[in-house]
């Protein structure tokens, strides 16, 4: 039984070192140099080459190197019997919460505009208690962001596919309640998982339901956003701007119109990054649980896609 690391977008060396430090006897393989594909039963993956897993006939579990799993479930060649897990890490949640809070405050206080301007131009600003922030996606990250915003006196609402009760958050769920959620969200934060239902959800039809002057923050996945719709709604004045940390193509191409739009703030997918030392124990724990035939932690529902 061996443990495979397979990624085309991350350096595997730090993962190898962390895993070996905590489990010196681990039979570890690194793609593409795999000695015996038939021995591989557990894979740690980030943006693997699609179709690569068909070379491992005894594979049982694929673990994501991050909180997102769309890069795995997007590979339709992965058999349904293979279990998928994602990372749930307190540090990831803390990092995301602080990052979103920073973006919201930057917007309310016009900081980016002041920093880039060569003019002495004091402007009015909004205080947290005057702003309703709507969070789409109330999973672990969404709840963490909501708690951080509430601590800083923001009014927070949340929307998800199914009903959830979260202390201090006015909650909406399902398509029937989406419009009520959007109509007063002066800042909209997207933290939805990327699924077949949520792909392209940030579109003109949705933006039109936000109040005039609303601000959009996308820290989930680039495929959630219809880019031309965002540009149209900013240019016609319905949206006051956007802060984007994720994009359909990364790095964002040099000639992309987002770069030249002064109302769009761009960051290079840095909202929260995996701390390898912090998450290695939970990955190894799931490896042991698999060996013992027990339930895994943070397992993905293949039907829900999250």
Catalytic residue positions, numbered: 221, 269
Say if CB 220 and CB 191 are below 8 A apart: yes
Give the integer Cα–Cα distance in Å for 73 and 193: 12
The DSSP output letter for 62 is E
Say if CB 39 and CB 1 are below 8 A apart: yes
Say if CB 135 and CB 143 are below 8 A apart: no
Measuring CA to CA, how many Å separate 70 from each of 28, 136, 174, 194?
25, 17, 21, 6
Residues contacting 190, CB < 8 A, separation 6+ = 136, 137, 201, 202, 216, 217, 218, 219, 220, 224, 225
For strands 83-85 and 132-136, give the pairing.
unpaired
């Amino acid at each position: 039984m061996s443990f495979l690391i397979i990624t085309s977008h991350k350096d595997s060396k730090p993962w190898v070192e962390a895993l070996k430090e905590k489990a010196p006897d681990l039979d570890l393989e690194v793609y593409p140099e795999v000695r015996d594909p038939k021995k591989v039963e557990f894979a740690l993956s980030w943006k693997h080459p699609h179709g690569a897993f068909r070379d491992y006939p005894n594979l049982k579990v694929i673990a994501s190197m991050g909180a997102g799993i769309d890069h795995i479930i997007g590979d339709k060649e992965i058999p349904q019997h293979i279990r998928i897990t994602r990372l749930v890490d307190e540090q990831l949640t803390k990092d995301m919460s602080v990052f979103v809070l920073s973006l919201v405050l930057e917007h309310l206080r016009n900081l980016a505009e002041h920093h880039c301007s060569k003019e002495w131009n004091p402007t009015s600003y909004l205080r947290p208690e005057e702003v309703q922030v709507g969070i789409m996606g109330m999973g672990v990250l969404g709840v963490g962001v909501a708690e951080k915003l509430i601590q800083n006196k923001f009014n927070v609402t949340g929307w998800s596919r199914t009903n959830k009760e979260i202390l201090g958050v006015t909650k909406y769920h399902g398509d029937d309640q989406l419009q009520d959620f959007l109509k007063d969200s002066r800042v909209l934060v997207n933290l939805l998982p990327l699924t077949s239902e949520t792909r392209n959800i940030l579109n003109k039809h949705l933006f039109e339901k936000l109040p005039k002057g609303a601000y959009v923050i996308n820290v989930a996945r680039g495929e959630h956003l219809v880019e031309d719709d965002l540009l149209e709604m900013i240019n016609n004045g319905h949206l006051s701007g956007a802060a984007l940390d994720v994009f359909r193509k990364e790095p964002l191409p040099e000639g992309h119109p987002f770069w030249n739009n002064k109302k769009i703030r761009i960051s290079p997918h840095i909202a929260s990054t995996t701390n390898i030392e912090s998450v290695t124990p939970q990955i190894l724990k799931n490896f042991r649980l698999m060996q013992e035939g027990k339930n895994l932690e943070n397992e993905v529902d293949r039907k829900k896609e999250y």
